[in-house]
Amino acid sequence: MKIGFIGAGKVGFSLGKYFKEGGVQVTGYYSRRLESAKEAAQFTNTAYYEDIYMLIEDSDILFLTVPDGNISEVFTEIKQAVNNKIICHCSGAMTAAEAFAGAEEHGAYGYSVHPLFAVSNAYHSYKELPGVFFALEGHKKYLSSIRKLLESLGNPTVVLPAGIKRKYHLAAALSSNYIVALVSWSVMLLKECGFTEKEALSALGPILKGNMEHVITSGPVESLTGPIERNDISTVEKHLNQLEEEADRQLYCLLSKKLLETAREKHRDYDYNGLEKVIARKGG
């Protein structure tokens, strides 16, 4: 199966390089910005195409690695030329049917192929793809073939029903994007304590890495530490008194309520009712 990429951004670069290094045949890239296609082709030692229809003709599988909001638009442009093609996108929240409406009417088969991984760099992220889970969804005809391709590269896969894609993507975003928000908040507070941003990130590095390692190996319940876990009402109140903005206090309390659920699972004999009342009162 020969794979072609329409779109030459971070995901296209990374998957193309990863597939090529894994022995998968990659035809090359088309992009509305020709220079991007040339850069991706050079990086992956494949071809670049000035004509999108030539790429389609030369490929069995097409990955539309364009921004989520443009996937359906690009498919609409090419759908007359995709007979007997496998069409894939890498959006975590969008189903194959949403992205490729009417694909079967044009003899094509649509799939969502989402790596459960934050692709942050066009030139380096491919090195981190070994072992990454891929969530798959789409037409049953070639689903097993795509699954075998990815598993031959060492990637575990899970097949999702279309109806739970949004919940799946929410779970992924919470563990990826929203962690960034919390770290940004922590860095801001440390800067108010006199740290430079570089010092703050360096100081937080061990606790972030350690926590993630513990969560992965032992699970969130056994990994929980801190004032919520130990039922330390005094420290929680001190934290809340440091937050001048009501929105920040509300966020702290909402997160604390979630942590309380985990704490109660860890310590079924603790009485967390007093702490719960403080969180409810202070959180507005």
pLDDT in tens, 95-118: 999 999 999 999 999 999 999 999
pLDDT the model gives residue 284: 59
pLDDT digits (tens, 9 = 90+) for 206-264: 999 999 999 999 999 999 999 999 999 999 999 999 999 999 999 999 999 999 999 99
pLDDT digits (tens, 9 = 90+) for 92-101: 999 999 999 9
Q: Which tokens in the block code for residue 132?
A: 């990454």
pLDDT the model gives residue 282: 81
Burial 60-96 (b: 16+ CB within 10 A, else e): ebbbbbbeeeebbebbeebbeebeebbbbbbbbbbbb
Q: Is 29 within 8 Å of 16 (Cβ atoms)? A: yes
pLDDT the model gives residue 174: 95
C-alpha dist (Å) from residue 278 to 24, 211, 254, 259: 57, 26, 12, 14
Q: What percent of the chain has pLDDT over 90?
A: 98
pLDDT the model gives residue 283: 76
pLDDT digits (tens, 9 = 90+) for 124-164: 999 999 999 999 999 999 999 999 999 999 999 999 999 99
Phi, psi of 63 (to 5 degrees): -100, 120
Q: What is the mean pLDDT of the chain?
A: 96
Beta-carbon contacts of 12 under 8 Å, excluding residues fewer than 6 positions away, are 5, 29, 40, 63, 65
Q: How confident is the model at residue 32 (pLDDT cuts 50, 70, 90)?
A: very high
pLDDT the model gives residue 70: 96
- State the DSSP code for 79: G
pTM score of the predicted model: 0.89
- State the DSSP code for 25: -
pLDDT digits (tens, 9 = 90+) for 59-79: 999 999 999 999 999 999 999
Q: Is 79 within 8 Å of 72 (Cβ atoms)? A: no
| Cα torsion through 221, 225, 228, 230, rounded to 10 | 100
pLDDT digits (tens, 9 = 90+) for 164-220: 999 999 999 999 999 999 999 999 999 999 999 999 999 999 999 999 999 999 999
pLDDT the model gives residue 201: 97
